[in-house]
Amino acid sequence: MAEIRRIMAGVPDLRILDLNEAGVPYDPVEEELEPYDSFEENARSKADHFHRKTGLPTVADDSGLEVDALDGRPGVRSKRFAPVAGLSGLDMDLANNRHLLDEMRGVPDERRTARYVCVAVAVGASTRGVVTVRGEAPGRILDAPRGDAGFGYDPLFFDPELGRTFAEITQERKNARSHRGKAFRALAEHLGHGGEI
């Protein structure tokens, strides 16, 4: 939320509320809002759900890692890529990274290309439709983790332009290059230039 608020701060007459501020308590049904095979469909599902609950213009996103040598996997299953149950937080991140390294064993360096993807969908209070934006951050998957910052696949995701993994750079620098930053900057540009939702 802090990153999104910073990016969207320049949009006039816009106030961003998180779910708590909007008075929306957690509901277990939220765990079933991402059953689809595309980032776009999952983001739209979440945006529609919370728009119905609040009646307010709503933005939701879905993001993950696409690895070319794995035909785009883990993709929308990035959060639950490892074939294990009952893990969360750092334990889940570590399991996902181990599983990714196992899947990539023997893949030569030139075929380890990947990208982080974020799709944000804004659903409006009017009938003007839906805005969908996409941000991508290209990189490569290393054969061993590097760095202690970030989360998820960041220790394995190498940014060739920076010469570092996303886990080796500051949060500010990551925000400037990340898939989520790019998607929300595109949304801010749309809204800031008179676009509506």
Q: Residue 3's pLDDT is what?
A: 83
- Catalytic residue ranges: 62
Residues pairing with 138 in the sheet: 115
Q: Residue 87's pLDDT is what?
A: 92
Q: Residue 91's pLDDT is what?
A: 94
The contacts of residue 171 (CB under 8 Å, 6+ apart) are 149
DSSP 162: T
Q: Residue 156's pLDDT is what?
A: 98
Q: Residue 7's pLDDT is what?
A: 87
Chain-wide mean pLDDT for the chain? Answer: 92
**Model pLDDT for residues 74-125, shown as the tens digit of each residue:** 999 999 999 998 999 999 999 999 999 999 999 999 999 999 999 999 998 6
Q: Residue 40's pLDDT is what?
A: 97
Closest CA to 123 of 66, 6, 40: 40
**Model pLDDT for residues 6-48, shown as the tens digit of each residue:** 888 888 888 899 999 999 999 999 989 999 999 999 999 999 9
Distance CA 128, CA 81 (A): 36
Q: Residue 92's pLDDT is what?
A: 94
Q: Residue 194's pLDDT is what?
A: 65
By DSSP bridging, strand 113-123 and strand 58-67 are antiparallel
Range with lowest mean pLDDT among 9-18, 52-61, 133-142: 9-18
Q: Residue 197's pLDDT is what?
A: 64
pLDDT of 165 over the 90 cut? yes
On the question of a cis peptide bond just before residue 74, with omega within 30 degrees of 0, the verdict is: yes
What share of residues in the chain are helix, strand, coil (percent, to 5)? Answer: 40, 20, 40
| Torsion sign across C-alpha atoms 192, 196, 117, 52 | positive
pLDDT of 192 over the 80 cut? no
By DSSP bridging, strand 113-123 and strand 164-165 are unpaired
User: Residue 150 — very low, low, confident or very high, per pLDDT cuts 50/70/90?
Assistant: confident
Degrees to nearest 5, angle at CA 168 with 85 and 16: 70
Q: Which residue has the higher pLDDT, 61 or 194?
A: 61
Domains observed in the chain: 2-192 (3.90.950.10)
Distance CA 81, CA 191 (A): 34
